[in-house]
A and B are shown apart, each in its own frame.
Chain A
Amino acid sequence: MLGSGRAFRRPLPGRVSSHETALGHVHTRAPDSDAMNSRSLPYLLIAPALLFLAVFFLYPFSLVAWQAFSTDEGRLTTEHFADMVGYWKFNDTLRNTLWLAAIVVPIQLVLSLLMATMVSKMQRGRDMVLYIWTIPLGISDLAAGLIWLAIFEQTGYLNSILHGLGLIEQPVAFLGYQSKLTLFVAIMLAEVWRATAIMLVILVAGIGLIPKEYNEAAEVFGAGPWQRFRRVTFPLLKPSLQTALILRVILAFEVFAVVIALSGTQFPVLMGAVYERQFVLRDTSVAAAYAMLILAISIAFTLLVLWWLRVPKEARI
Chain B
Amino acid sequence: MSTLVDGPVRGGRGQRVLFIATTVILCLWVLVPIYLLFVNAVSSSSDVTTFPKPRVPAIDLESLRFFMNYQGVARASWNSLVVACTTMVIAIGIGAPAGYALSRFDFRGKSAFRLLVLLTRAFPLPLLALPLAILYIRVGLDDTVLGIACVHALLAMPFAVLINFSLFSGIPVELEEAAWTLGCNRWQAFRKVVLPLVLPGLTASAIFAFVISWNEVFAAAVLTIEHRTLPAFLLQSLNSAPLHLKFAGGAMLVLPALFFIFAVRKYLFAMWGIANR
Contacts and interface: CB of A to CB of B under 8 A. Distances in A.
B276 interface: yes
B36 A147 contact: yes
A47 B128 CA distance: 22
Given A143-B250, A147-B37, A50 B113 contact: yes
Interface string A211-244: 0000000000000000000000000000110010
A287 B222 CA distance: 12
Contacts of B151: 56
Given A45-B100, A56-B150, A257-B231, A271 B270 contact: no
B256 to A, nearest CB: 8
Given A64-B130, A264-B239, A205 B177 contact: no
Interface stretch (B2-10, B68-76, B194-202): B2-10
B182 interface: yes
Given A123-B9, A146-B249, A132 B31 contact: yes
B7 A121 contact: yes
Interface string B76-107: 00000000000000100111011011101101
Interface string A132-156: 1111111111110011111101110
A45 B181 contact: no
A215 B120 CA distance: 35
The secondary structure that dominates the A interface is helix
B171 interface: no
Contacts of B177: 8-9, 30
B4 A138 contact: no
A205 B217 contact: no
B186 interface: yes
Interface string A278-294: 11000010011001001
Nearest to A272: B218
Contacts of A240: 272, 276
B157 interface: yes
B124 A123 contact: no
B265 A257 contact: no
Interface residues of B, number: 109
Interface stretch (A18-26, A73-81, A87-95): A18-26
Interface string B215-255: 11110011000000001001100110001001101100110
Interface string A16-49: 0001000101110011001001010111011011
B187 to A, nearest CB: 9
A142 B231 contact: yes
B127 to A, nearest CB: 4
B101 A46 contact: yes
A284 B222 CA distance: 12
A219 to B, nearest CB: 10
Interface in B17-33: 19, 22-23, 26-27, 29-31, 33
B56 interface: no
B123 A60 contact: no
B51 A52 contact: no
A233 to B, nearest CB: 15
Interface of B: 3-9, 19, 22-23, 26-27, 29-31, 33-34, 36-37, 40, 48-53, 90, 93-95, 97-98, 100-102, 104-105, 107, 110, 113, 116-117, 120-128, 130-135, 150-151, 153-154, 157, 161, 174, 177-178, 180-183, 185-186, 189, 211, 214-218, 221-222, 231, 234-235, 238-239, 243, 246-247, 249-250, 253-254, 256-258, 260-262, 265, 268-273, 275-277
28 contacts: A8-B174, A52-B153, A56-B128, A56-B154, A64-B128, A114-B22, A139-B253, A140-B214, A140-B217, A142-B250, A143-B37, A143-B215, A143-B250, A147-B33, A147-B250, A149-B250, A155-B243, A160-B51, A201-B268, A201-B272, A243-B272, A247-B121, A256-B217, A257-B235, A278-B133, A287-B130, A291-B124, A298-B124
